[in-house]
Chains A and B, each alone.
Chain A
């Protein structure tokens, strides 16, 4: 049976290669950070929780002192890229399409044909495992088609990874924070406070408070990912899912998107809202936000309606 463990070994190998290439490039901080992440993937299942915790603290220490830098591995020039793109045309999109097609078609095949009975994949894990397989297929296809130098995919991947930097593990870290919140009983505490404020049994008002909390926390922090574990632990899980029996998939997905509506309205999300205003040389640094508010507010209302209908009216 193929499990997540296989996927972790694959990802661990990728991060280990990136660590080695960073080492060769004398980027010590990057090398250390990606080596620790590789170790987490490769041996995380076999060492104690304390060792895993220390790996986390070491990675955060490197990121915290600014040890991660962008990298600039050798690549093609802008002119070469233009010529290739003229030559290859829209076929360039095809290798990227292999990944979602493999994962979605594979998942449907696995779940709706007798294939599922074979127990080939760990239960509920098939989509992400198929994503990994799709990546390998796409990589081999692109290598055979384009015939780049052998190290090119690793170096191009490193260029992109280093432009993301420490933010690459932020979502995983936030999920871990959610788990620590759950362990510390944060949800129970807020649940007891909130149930005193929100009128007993008003599902709709609770949905509004949840979606509003997602948008407001996102606006304050500039990041919907950070708002999510907080609002899920506070209202989403204890009240909406456990208290009122709502559909967790809708509450999670549309709740996150309600947060994205907040991202559209805050200068704190500088990369999306302030940087483009500067790039376009707008006189008003909030010009982009001004154009987004008119979409964000009605769309937020749509998300409230989607949660209320999808998670409660249609679900029960």
Chain B
């Protein structure tokens, strides 16, 4: 058996790990894989062109950007901040659990750019969580404050990652569809996105209980 086409996988892994432009990495891997499998270069370019063309529906999702951009023009991000600010006065545990749910739900209905580190975590979620922790538990050592801030950022990531795939018109779901369709297994986006729900629930339960456990532990440290 000819094992050389596997070099394409090595190119993807190395190229991403070494931080080359990902598009360059992917196309080089595709060309190398095809040529090493014994196709001539023109045939590989044709195969790549056909495959890119067949998978155009994945990039159709960007047509939503004018809608989101227009709403941002009229203060969508500021409104999201006001919703988060409405949580002032809650304990750190409750604040971050509600933010986790808010991030998961908005991502699940296609608003994955509500929240995020520069827009929400740094100006709002992290300072509010820190202030709430100090209010409940009294003054905290620097190391513990750092953990609260890091937990705020972690909550944003986890809410986004395990909410967004419930939205069917998102690149990762359509990428899965495209890969399976090329291999002869046609699926629909909704068939895939419903299977993101069990993991989303697990993520909420696991991360939510870790947040609450952290809040309790901070109480013991402060005393």
Contacts and interface: CB of A to CB of B under 8 A. Distances in A.
Interface in A152-182: 152-161, 164, 166-182
Interface stretch (A23-31, A112-120, A125-133, A201-209): A125-133
A172 B46 contact: no
Given A56-B27, A249-B195, A257 B147 contact: no
Interface residues on B, range: 35 or more
A280 interface: yes
Interface residues of A, number: 147
B23 A64 contact: yes
A181 to B, nearest CB: 6
Given A181-B33, A248-B185, A257-B196, A11 B63 contact: yes
A166 B24 CA distance: 11
B79 A88 contact: yes
A282 B142 CA distance: 10
Contact of B12 (A168, A177, A310): A177
B24 A64 contact: yes
Interface in B29-58: 29-30, 33-34, 36-37, 39, 42, 44-58
B82 A85 contact: yes
Given A139-B70, A264-B157, A291 B147 contact: yes
B60 A11 contact: yes
Contacts of A248: 180, 185, 187
Contacts of B71: 92, 95-96, 142
Contact of B51 (A179, A295, A302): A179
A184 B36 contact: yes
Contacts of A226: 12, 16, 22, 26
A221 interface: yes
Interface in B166-223: 167-169, 171-180, 182-183, 185-193, 195-196, 198-199, 202-203, 206-207, 210
B88 to A, nearest CB: 17
Nearest to B31: A180
Contact of A256 (B39, B42, B78, B172): B172
B1 A176 contact: no
Interface in A105-148: 107, 124, 127-128, 131-132, 135, 138-139, 142-143, 146, 148
A185 interface: yes
B49 A49 contact: yes
Which of B3, B157, B187 has its CB near the most chain A CB atoms (within 10 A)?
Answer: B157
Nearest to B72: A156
Interface in A231-274: 232-234, 237, 241, 248-250, 252-257, 260, 263-264, 268, 272-273
Interface of B: 1-3, 5-6, 8-9, 12-13, 16-17, 21-24, 26-27, 29-30, 33-34, 36-37, 39, 42, 44-79, 82-83, 109-111, 113, 117-118, 121-122, 126, 146-147, 149-154, 156-158, 161-162, 165, 167-169, 171-180, 182-183, 185-193, 195-196, 198-199, 202-203, 206-207, 210
The 5 closest A-B pairs by CB, nearest first: A156-B69, A53-B49, A85-B75, A52-B49, A175-B178
